[in-house]
Each structure stands twice: as structure tokens, then as C-alpha cells.
Copies of this chain bind each other. A is one copy, B any other.
Amino acid sequence: MTKANNVIMNEEEIIHKIRKFNRSYVRSIGLLEKKLLNSDYSLTESQILYLVNDQKKTTATEINKILKLDEGYLSRIIKKLISKSLLTKEQSFSDKRIFEIRLTEKGLKEQQKLDTLSSDSIRSIIAHLNKSDQSELANLFNRIMTLLYKK
């Protein structure tokens, strides 16, 4: 794996570099997402479809542990996606407060379509790099994930 060089930076410099990255990267990803979701689904809707697909069976509360939306707002979005026949909602037998949410066939197709669009948009931002640089990039992202989130 990528080996760290051991030049210790001061905290200010570290934070500055991260923030600089955030400004460029988060902005460019944001613009890409906006463009590519144009215009069938909102970003939030597509995130919900992604999560439901990822978890196969889920609930509003589960989704909201990740997305942290307003509960009423989430409830309405789910309702909307059900009305478009992308999701189903079924009351749990063992706990009737809970409603299990799943993708329909149509929902799965739509989510796969969104997935492809999202992959395409990433492809476009790495297209100018050769294979070796692209692989390095993936390793860099991966290493950041490890540092930030695996503990």
C-alpha cells in the first residue's frame, strides 16, 4: 500500500490543505450530481433509492440514521416514491410501528439507471488520466477512507 512520508506538518497547514480539497472537490462533485440527476429525481431521492437498494429491506428510521433528514420530509419523499411505484411500504408484523421499505422492479431499474449516470460522471472526471494515475487516485481515496473512518 501507499507509504506515508513522514514530514510532520503543523495543524494549520493540514487543515488548510483539507479545506482546499473540500472546496474544489465537494463543489465539483456537487455540480456533477446536479447536472446528471437532471431532472427526474432530486439528489435526496436518489440517495434514498441508493440506500434502499443497498440494504434491500429498510425503514425510514434506518435511512435517516444515514441521511439525517427531517422526519416529516423523509416521510413525504417516501410517499412520493411509492406513488411513482418505485418503492413499496409494508407494515412489519412483529412491530406495527415499523414499515418495511423495498424497491419495486421499476425502482430497481431506476436506481440502476441513476447508478450508471453516477459512474459515468466519475468516469468523466478521471478520463484525462492514464490508467496508472487512475489507479493511484483510487488508492489515495481508499487510504483516506481508512484513515478517516476505519477505527
Contact = CB atoms under 8 A, between A and B. Distances in A.
Given A15-B123, A31-B68, A68-B31, A9 B134 contact: yes
Given A2-B4, A7-B135, A151-B128, A22 B31 contact: no
* Number of identical monomers bound together in the oligomeric complex: 2
Overall SS of chain A's interface = helix
What 7 A-B pairs are tightest by C-beta distance, nearest first? A4-B136, A21-B141, A17-B138, A14-B138, A9-B135, A15-B122, A140-B140
Q: For this complex, into which size category does the number of interface residues on chain A fall?
A: 35 or more
A5 interface: yes
Contacts of A22: 29, 122
A134 to B, nearest CB: 5
Contacts of A132: 4, 6, 8
Contact of A138 (B9, B135, B151): B9
Contacts of A126: 14-15, 18, 148
A83 interface: no
B26 A26 contact: yes
Contact of A24 (B27, B134, B149): B149
Given A4-B133, A24-B149, A133-B147, 4 more contacts: A11-B123, A26-B29, A137-B148, A140-B143
Interface in A48-87: 50, 66-68
